[in-house]
């Protein structure tokens, strides 16, 4: 099979063996149909690939071509959404544990299902914020992850205020009547008006760039005892005096939910007990699939561009050279 890797800050297509189910009764072998380019995460990996070969990608969907002996929830021919490196990459075939996939109903567009990994990350970020019905959340950074979080938060009946420097990204949400702004002053005015000057209940920071100046300002936007949730790749550089004065909570959202980076849950495919861990990363993927199946959120604006597998390296080059400002692109596998 072929797979896409980063090597010496370049993207290459290499050949490798199709993974085997031998000794993995709780896994499925998936023939990939679509995988998702996540610009923020993958460009960081690409930039750090000097003198080493690193696999890219973590969100995809495909057709089950073989099942381990302990698999009972899907069968050969079913479509599944898959999430999580090192099991999910931009590879023609994926060997995925049962804790990291969700079955796709026939009514769901396969392209939309491919965003399952990003959907799980967005859902987990909102769970970490631990908001109550009707509370106000400010979402800073409207890349594909911020956009997803805004839509899911709106569906959950939170009062959503969104901000990004990019007017085009702001306008994507304005088309759906979101309170979305490219001006900090206008956003701050909206927060005052929407909360009667008390401040938002939480701010979700979905930006990148490590040291963002917004971390110095976002505590001004939350109420006393409000929350700042780090979702993007930024350093938690917050002014202590303002954190102290507001008794603010700082929370960090780690990937798609409980189970991530736990070898027992992922590699050994042993699920957490439902009654003790209600929302694992795998269950969050399934919840994303439910949201799109029931038309609770519209993700079609994110998937306007599809590239063929053979052309993917050039697309990464465009992203790296900032010739493309797209939210994401889907890689199509024949």
CB 172 within 8 A of CB 330: no
Q: Helices 144-155 and 116-129 meet at what angle, rounded to 10? A: 60
Domain boundary among 191, 223, 252: 252
**Strands annotated E in the chain:** 2-7, 10-15, 27-37, 53-55, 59-67, 79-83, 93-97, 101-103, 136-140, 159-163, 179-181, 200-205, 222-230, 249-252, 306-308, 329-332
Shared domain check, 151 and 44: no
Alpha helices, DSSP H, located in 247-328: 281-293, 312-320
Angle, CA of 263, 79 and 15, to the nearest 5°: 65
Tell me which residues of the chain have a pLDDT lower than 50.
none
Shared domain check, 240 and 147: yes
Shared domain check, 248 and 125: yes
Shared domain check, 273 and 187: no
CB 238 within 8 A of CB 220: no
Shared domain check, 29 and 143: no
Counting the structural domains of the chain, the total is: 2
For 271-292, the pLDDT digits (tens) are 999 999 999 999 999 999 999 9
For 101-131, the pLDDT digits (tens) are 999 999 999 999 999 999 999 999 999 999 9
For 240-270, the pLDDT digits (tens) are 898 899 999 999 999 999 999 999 999 999 9
Report residue 169 as tokens.
């990204």
Q: Which residues contact 214 (CB under 8 A, 6 or more apart)?
A: 140, 205, 207
Shared domain check, 225 and 139: yes
- The whole-angstrom separation of Cα 95 and Cα 17 is 12
Give the domain CATH number at 109: 3.90.180.10
Domain boundary among 192, 225, 252: 252
- What is the SS3 assignment for 94? strand
CB 113 within 8 A of CB 27: no
Shared domain check, 157 and 83: no
Shared domain check, 211 and 148: yes
Shared domain check, 146 and 62: no
Give the domain CATH number at 194: 3.40.50.720
What pLDDT does 87 receive? Answer: 97
Shared domain check, 162 and 73: no
Report residue 15 as tokens.
């050949």
Shared domain check, 197 and 129: yes
Q: How many residues does the chain have?
A: 334
Domain boundary among 196, 221, 252: 252
Shared domain check, 170 and 205: yes
What pLDDT does 324 receive? Answer: 53
Give residue 280's domain range: 2-115+258-332
- The whole-angstrom separation of Cα 219 and Cα 250 is 10
């Amino acid at each position: 099979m072929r797979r896409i890797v980063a090597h010496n800050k370049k993207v290459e297509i290499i050949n490798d063996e199709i993974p085997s189910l031998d000794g993995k009764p709780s896994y499925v072998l998936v023939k990939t149909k679509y995988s998702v380019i996540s610009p923020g995460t993958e460009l960081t990996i690409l930039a750090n690939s000097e003198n080493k070969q690193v696999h890219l990608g973590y969100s995809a969907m495909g057709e089950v071509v073989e099942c381990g002996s302990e698999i009972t929830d899907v069968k050969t021919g079913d479509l599944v959404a898959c999430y999580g490196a090192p099991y999910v990459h931009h590879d023609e075939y994926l060997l995925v544990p049962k804790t990291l996939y969700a079955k796709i109903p026939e009514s769901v567009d396969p392209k939309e299902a491919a965003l399952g990994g990003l959907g799980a990350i967005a859902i987990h970020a909102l769970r970490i914020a631990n908001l109550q019905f009707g509370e106000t959340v400010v979402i800073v950074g409207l890349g594909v992850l911020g956009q997803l979080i805004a839509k899911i938060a709106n569906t959950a009946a939170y009062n959503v205020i969104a901000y990004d420097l990019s007017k085009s990204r702001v306008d994507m949400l304005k088309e759906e009547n979101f309170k979305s702004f490219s001006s900090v002053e206008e956003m701050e005015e909206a927060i005052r008006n929407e909360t009667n000057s008390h401040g938002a209940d939480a701010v979700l920071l979905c930006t990148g760039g490590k040291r963002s100046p917004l971390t110095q300002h976002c505590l001004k936007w939350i109420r006393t005892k409000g929350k700042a949730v780090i979702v993007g790749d930024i350093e938690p550089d917050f002014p202590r005096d303002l954190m102290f004065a507001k008794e603010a909570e700082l929370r960090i959202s780690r990937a798609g939910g409980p189970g991530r980076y736990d070898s027992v849950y992922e590699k050994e495919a042993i699920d957490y007990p439902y009654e003790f861990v209600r929302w694992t990363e795998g269950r969050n993927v399934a919840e994303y699939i439910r949201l799109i199946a029931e038309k609770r959120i519209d993700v079609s604006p994110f998937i306007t561009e599809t590239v063929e597998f053979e052309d993917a390296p050039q697309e990464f080059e465009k992203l790296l050279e900032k010739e493309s400002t797209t939210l994401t692109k889907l890689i199509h596998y024949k």
